């Protein structure tokens, strides 16, 4: 999961980034509204953590930019502003959640997971599909009750494909989601294909089935099976 942290307090931003990366997320930082606007325009983020009190921007204006650009990113407002008007304005504009400062990093992680679950119509932290059980909180995937020995990148790709089940996702989308900023080397290399190959083998070894479909010239699709 790729997250953009928009926060002008660098120590706080760095603390959030360090914690979330330890939890397996890919994080990018922006300490000004101008830089945040550029990053949002160039990159794709699953979640944007937005501080309203930026030195050169009102966070609400940045949120309006995202709405106008039809950004698909989930937005969680992080702000020391306690005004009810600010909270209502942000949520009415399309923000997914509002977390007042100070907050615990554990609660922030829970809010991020909750937003992702709502966006994909998932109840709870457990995703069940075919013979797989994926625990979004513990970051583990089981097949027929046995934990799959996935690397961090393999797990991230699996979750991304499962959340977009029965839809083709491109290599570029996977690269943006897993590695963050668009890096041409990642996109043009066979990194993704190697991860997909290993992921396919680990799943098929346990399930005896191949749910990962390669759509030639386009990308990959995780096919759900009706029971």
**What pLDDT, on the 0 to 100 scale, is given for residue 29?**
95
- 18-56 per-residue burial string, b: 16 or more CB within 10 A, e: under 16: eebeebebbbbbbbebeebbebbeeebbbbbbbbbbbee
3-state secondary structure of 202: helix
Q: Which residues pair with 140 in a beta bridge?
A: 135
Q: Which residues are within 8 A (CB) of 62 and not within 5 positions of it... i.e. 6 or more apart?
A: 6, 33, 36, 37, 40, 50, 54
**What pLDDT, on the 0 to 100 scale, is given for residue 15?**
96
Each of the 227 residues of the chain gets a pLDDT tens digit; together they read 889 999 999 999 999 999 999 988 889 999 999 999 999 888 888 899 999 888 998 888 999 999 888 888 999 999 876 667 777 887 888 899 999 888 999 999 999 999 988 888 787 788 999 999 999 888 999 999 999 999 988 999 999 999 899 999 988 888 877 776 554 444 455 788 899 999 999 999 998 889 999 998 889 999 988 65
**What pLDDT, on the 0 to 100 scale, is given for residue 72?**
85
Element of type H or E holding 76: strand 74-79
CATH number of 2-119: 3.40.50.2300
Place of tokens 């702000």: 79
Domain spans, the chain:
2-119, 150-222
Closest CA to 73 of 33, 32, 115: 115
**What pLDDT, on the 0 to 100 scale, is given for residue 148?**
96
Given a contact cutoff of 8 angstroms between Cβ atoms, the answer to whether 43 and 4 are in contact is yes
Q: What pTM did the predictor assign?
A: 0.76
Given a contact cutoff of 8 angstroms between Cβ atoms, the answer to whether 139 and 148 are in contact is no
Place of tokens 């989601």: 177
Closest CA to 105 of 134, 87, 78: 78
Task: Say which CATH class 150-222 falls into.
Answer: mainly alpha
DSSP state of 11: H
Closest CA to 37 of 25, 50, 27, 53: 50
Structure-block tokens of residue 18: 């360090």
Place of tokens 């990962």: 212
């Amino acid at each position: 999961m790729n997250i953009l942290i928009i926060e002008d307090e660098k120590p706080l931003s760095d603390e959030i980034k360090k914690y979330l990366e330890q939890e397996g997320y890919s994080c990018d930082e922006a300490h000004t509204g101008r830089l945040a606007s550029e990053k949002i325009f160039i990159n794709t983020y699953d979640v944007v953590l937005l501080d309203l009190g930026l030195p050169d921007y009102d966070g609400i204006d940045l949120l309006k930019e995202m709405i106008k650009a039809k950004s698909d990113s989930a937005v969680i407002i992080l702000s020391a502003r306690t005004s009810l008007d600010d909270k209502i304005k942000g949520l009415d504009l399309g923000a997914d959640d509002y977390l007042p400062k100070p907050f615990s990093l554990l609660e922030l992680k829970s809010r991020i997971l909750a937003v992702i679950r709502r966006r994909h119509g998932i109840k709870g932290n457990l995703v069940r599909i075919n013979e797989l059980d994926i625990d979004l909180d513990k970051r583990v995937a089981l097949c027929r009750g046995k934990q799959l020995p996935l690397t961090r990148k393999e797990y991230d790709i699996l979750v991304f494909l499962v959340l977009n089940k029965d839809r083709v996702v491109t290599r570029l989308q996977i690269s943006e989601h897993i590695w963050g900023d668009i890096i041409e080397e990642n996109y043009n290399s066979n990194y993704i294909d190697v991860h997909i190959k290993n992921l396919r083998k680990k799943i098929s070894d346990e399930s005896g089935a191949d749910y990962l479909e390669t759509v030639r010239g386009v990308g990959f699709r995780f096919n759900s099976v009706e029971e």
